[in-house]
Amino acid sequence: MANPAIEAQYESAIKDPRYDGTRYALLCDYRYFSGNHAAEIACKEEFELPIDQFGIKEVEVGPFFKGGDETCGENWEWFYIPCPTEIFSKHYGPEGDKAGQRPLACQVEESGTLYYGTLDEMIEKMKKFDRPMVLFQL
């Protein structure tokens, strides 16, 4: 368990003034995010990145079998998370040059499960879903 005193020190050490205003977030309905790589390529194109850099990078979890009946879909764990890098936050985070606009990645992502907006909007959006979601503060 974290030491509460040190935890308070962590919080007081945070001084980035950009976070004093509107905050932005990326939300993913990741149960249905298909790992289609469109968001990765979209960021490379939008930010004109060299081949070894990413604005969003997908990570895969699974597939693994959790026991029970192998013929039932829920007994398998297999999902992807589109992780925004600091390159993405630099453009779409607070005071980013594109803050508040729609990222190309969110438009083109093929499963339609990637949302971008202010942190408050994304929290409200997330509450409308009845399942695990992943929210990235940018």
Partner 1 sequence: MAYSKEWRVEREDGTVATRSNTWSPPGSHPVGYGVKVITKDGELIRIEGDDDNPITTGRVNAMNLALREYTYAPSRIIYPMKRAFEDRGKDKWERTTWDEAIDTICEKVRYFQNTYGPESIVCFGGTGREACIFYYALTFSVLQSPNCCYTQSGWSCYGPRCSISDYVLGAGYPELDYAGHLPGSYIDPQYTLSKWVVLWGKEPLPSNGDGFFGHCLVDMMRLGTHIIDIDPRVTWVGAHRGNILLQVRPQTDTAMALGIMNLMFQNDEYDHEFAENWIYGLDEVKARAAEYPVEKVSEITTVPVEAIKRAAHIIGTERPIGWAWGLAFDQNKNGVQLSQAMIILAGLSGSIDRPGGLTLGPPSALLGKWRMNQRGAMSDEVWEKRIGAAAWPGLSTGMATTQPDETLNTMESDEPYALKMGWFNSSNFLTPTCSAQPKRWHKALQKLEFVVIQDITMTPTAMAVGDYFLPMATWAEHTGIVLTHYGRNTVFMGPMNKALTVGECMSDVQICLVFGQRLNPEWYPWYKPADEHKLDWDLLEQATQDFYSDQLKELGYDWNSFQELGIYQPGAHGFEYEKYDKGLLRFDGQPGFNTITGQIEAYSILYESWGEDPLPYYEEPNYSPFSELRTDEEKEKYPLITTSGSRRYSSFHSEHRHVPSLRQIDPWPWVQINPETAAEYGITEGDWVEVYNMFGEARFKAEITPVMKPGILNCAHGWWFPEQDGEEPNLFGVWKSNFNSLVPHMNIGKLGFGAPYKGVMCNARRVRSLDAD
Residue (108 or 135) nearer to partner 1, CB:
108
Q: Find the shortest distance in angstroms from Cβ 124 to partner 1.
A: 19
Residue (10 or 129) nearer to partner 1, CB:
129
Picking from 26, 30, 27, 25, the residue whose alpha carbon sits closest to that of residue 131 is 30
Q: Find the shortest distance in angstroms from Cβ 74 to partner 1.
A: 4
The contact set with partner 1 (CB under 8 A) reads: 29, 31-32, 34-38, 40-42, 44-46, 51, 62-65, 69-74, 76-78, 104, 107-113
Q: Find the shortest distance in angstroms from Cβ 69 to partner 1.
A: 8
Q: In the block, which residue shows the tokens 């959006």?
A: 125
Residue (24 or 79) nearer to partner 1, CB:
79
Tokens of 23: 């905050």
